[in-house]
A and B are shown apart, each in its own frame.
Chain A
Amino acid sequence: MQLRAGSPPTGHRWRLRYRRRRKGEGRPSPNFRGNAALPKILLVGNPNVGKSALFNRLTGAYAAVSNYPGTTVAIDEGRCKLNGREFAVIDSPGMYSLLPITEEERVAKRLLLEERPALVLHVVDAKNLERMLPLTLQLIEADLPVMLILNMMDEAEKIGIKINREELETVLGIPVIPVVATAGSGFEELMARINEYAGRQQDSSGL
């Protein structure tokens, strides 16, 4: 409460009121028990950047995909197998930053805080890199095992946008992978990098 001076005035009050309401209502929390033992890959990113399309490609499951921001209102979970290693893949509702405004964004942040993912894939729209990088920076800041997925590369190229991927990897210090989720291009590399990354994660956690 004393904090109010230092936080956005309207948003803060709203969040407090909202949380109180939620408690009584109790929307069932997602049940991940079935895949509890598997390392988790969490998909995060702004609304409408293709998280669900990527999710469908990775898992072969079906999450509703549309050309409208904010379609994923619940959490979808599926599995994917890479080189014999199985992962639980979790699709999250869109989020703009680690400081959420809507309930949907809170769901995504809670996943980040509570699920201890083995890998976070930050999916961005390659056409709007500038607007989406702040979340990447926050995820890096949080020491999360994050990879940056530049989605919709085809559309970016069509309007004349070129991204120097190697330079971006060097600046950020994390893997950067260009893909087209709807067409499936770039997925071979994505799978290889996930495998490599997850392998190293396991080695380092064993130390």
Chain B
Amino acid sequence: MLAGNRIRVAYDPSIESAICDITALLKGGYAISPRSVALLLLQGDPDIRRLVQAGEGERFSQINTIVERTARRHAHPLSYVIRMALQQKASDITASVVTVAPPQKPRFAERLSRAMINPWTGFPLLILIVYLVLYQFVGVIGAGKLVDLIEGTLFGEHINPFFTDLVTKHIPYQSIRDLFVGEFGLLTLGITYAVAIVLPIVGTFFLAFSVIEDSGYLPRLSLLVDGLFKKIGLTGRAVIPLVLGLGCDTMATMVTRTQETRRERVIATLLLALAIPCAGQLGVILAVLSGHPAALTVWLIVLVFSFVLVGFLASRILPGEKPSFYMELPPLRWPKISNILTKTYTRIVWYLKEVLPIFLAVSLIAWALDLTGVMDAILDGLRPVVGWIGLPDDTARVFLFGFFRRDYGAAGLYDMQNALTGVQLAVAAVTLTLFVPCIAQFMMMVKERGIRTALAIFAFIVVYAFTIGFLLNKILTGIGVSL
């Protein structure tokens, strides 16, 4: 029954005779059959060429001659000819074993699927989904209600006071007390930011993302935006890393591997670092700006503008071929609860492993810098820079921390929102969002794209973020609006 007579695809006679000639020359041992090696050689596969060149030595040039001779006999590339033969055989087999019942009238899922892809209905649907998922679910529920509950009530009224009392009673030295429960304390800053502010936001985002991912909406979104993305050097394929970036840019930078060309990978990495706020940042900024709808609008417009402008310029400047895009559409499905929970859980675990140590390290470093007076020196140096874009001195700290973690910086902004005017909030939010990716994301950029590309992106972003912040402040104060 098994492996009795395995099927053999018969190719064009000139290809069959080339296979015969090449296999006669192959003496080395390969993991796949000589026939298969010969076929891959005929199709110019670089991996197999390298293997055969190493294994066959002088015979490789004879093999090359056979390949070239065969290629000249065909009007199309041999890879195309061979692929067509395989596809023909596959179609013949399918015709003999598969029967398809006559199509029924399109079901609801089919109609919904078409509506998601059609630009006239697809973009309104996209806006609705973004509004419901990002604004209502992640913004209002995650960043608003959950953070109020966990940070305000749980940490603010119970956990932090309890430990502050405990530490104050048992540790006589003020500087050591500060290490745990001071302004930059491991508990009062590090753990509070990570667990009480960032985790609820990122957690709700990952939950929503898992549902969307499982439903099959993302491939449809890819088709919808493919035309637009082609203008900025990407294709619909870039949807997954970019949407995932709204959760965690570090994770998304890793996922840019799925892009087909190096050029797409570089552009996607750049846009993630520049114009895609991660959930921690996004949630905090939505919460901070929710009292200033005009500032929120300005922030959104500047971000979209930067995304399109920088993508467009990058696609002009970076060399490389224009990408092509083909994606199969999986059916729309009801997401499975167990799958969603597992996925959300694994992402949150990944995130916490990534984030908690860094938050604690930042608290420790900040405490040490503060104790030694270095902090004040750095902040003194940063003040002219934040002053240059029209922000008060205290925001220097937000930017300093924003370098360690995007969401950390944003969480700092959350703490001082009442001290800033609408214009200052808009400028701070825009600059902070565009500003440097966090350390973890930068490390991932180095790992995935190489140190030179990562540094170039880094330098560009610092200059771009502050220039835009400066211009925005000049324009907004120039026309005298209060947001």
Using known A-B contacts A67-B215, A112-B31, A144-B32, determine if residue A104 contacts B44 with beta carbons closer than 8 Å.
Answer: no
Using known A-B contacts A142-B33, A171-B93, determine if residue A67 contacts B80 with beta carbons closer than 8 Å.
Answer: no
Q: Is A38 in the interface zone, CB < 8 Å from B?
A: no
Q: Mark A49-77, 1 if CB is under 8 A from B, else 0.
A: 00000000000001011111110010000
Which single member of B47, B70, B93 contacts A109 (CB below 8 Å)?
A: B47
Report the stretch among B255-263, B291-299, B354-362, B456-464 that lies at the interface: B255-263
Q: Which range holds the interface residue count of chain B?
A: 35 or more
Task: Name the residue among A3, A12, A113 with the largest chain B CB count within 10 angstroms.
Answer: A3
CA distance A160 to B336 in the complex (A): 23
A66–B36 touching, CB < 8 Å: no
A5–B71 touching, CB < 8 Å: yes
**Chain B hits for A164, CB < 8 A:** 97-99
A16–B46 touching, CB < 8 Å: yes
Q: Is A32 in the interface zone, CB < 8 Å from B?
A: no
Nearest CB of chain B from residue A66's CB, rounded to whole Å: 5
B100–A161 touching, CB < 8 Å: yes
Q: Is B346 in the interface zone, CB < 8 Å from A?
A: yes
Which single member of B42, B72, B218, B331 contacts A68 (CB below 8 Å)?
A: B218
**Chain B hits for A102, CB < 8 A:** 258, 260
B100–A6 touching, CB < 8 Å: no
Using known A-B contacts A8-B80, A138-B86, determine if residue A3 contacts B219 with beta carbons closer than 8 Å.
Answer: no
B68–A6 touching, CB < 8 Å: yes
Q: Is A134 in the interface zone, CB < 8 Å from B?
A: yes
Which single member of A46, A48, A113, A160 contacts B47 (CB below 8 Å)?
A: A113
Nearest CB of chain B from residue A65's CB, rounded to whole Å: 6
For chain A residues 90-136, which have a beta carbon within 8 Å of chain B?
97-99, 101-104, 106, 109-110, 112-116, 128-134, 136
B44–A168 touching, CB < 8 Å: no
**Chain B hits for A15, CB < 8 A:** 46
A6–B71 touching, CB < 8 Å: yes
Using known A-B contacts A67-B214, A110-B47, determine if residue A97 contacts B83 with beta carbons closer than 8 Å.
Answer: yes
CA distance A16 to B216 in the complex (A): 34
A-B complex: 3 closest residue pairs judged by Cβ atoms:
A160-B101, A6-B71, A7-B44
Binding site for B on A (CB under 8 A): 2-10, 12, 14-19, 21, 24-25, 27, 46-48, 62, 64-70, 73, 97-99, 101-104, 106, 109-110, 112-116, 128-134, 136-138, 140-144, 155, 159-165, 167-169, 171-175, 182, 196-197, 200
Q: List 25 A-B contacts (CB under 8 A).
A: A2-B64, A5-B71, A8-B77, A48-B328, A62-B346, A64-B343, A67-B215, A68-B330, A98-B45, A99-B79, A102-B260, A115-B31, A130-B91, A130-B98, A136-B90, A137-B9, A140-B8, A141-B35, A160-B103, A171-B7, A171-B97, A172-B7, A175-B3, A182-B339, A196-B2
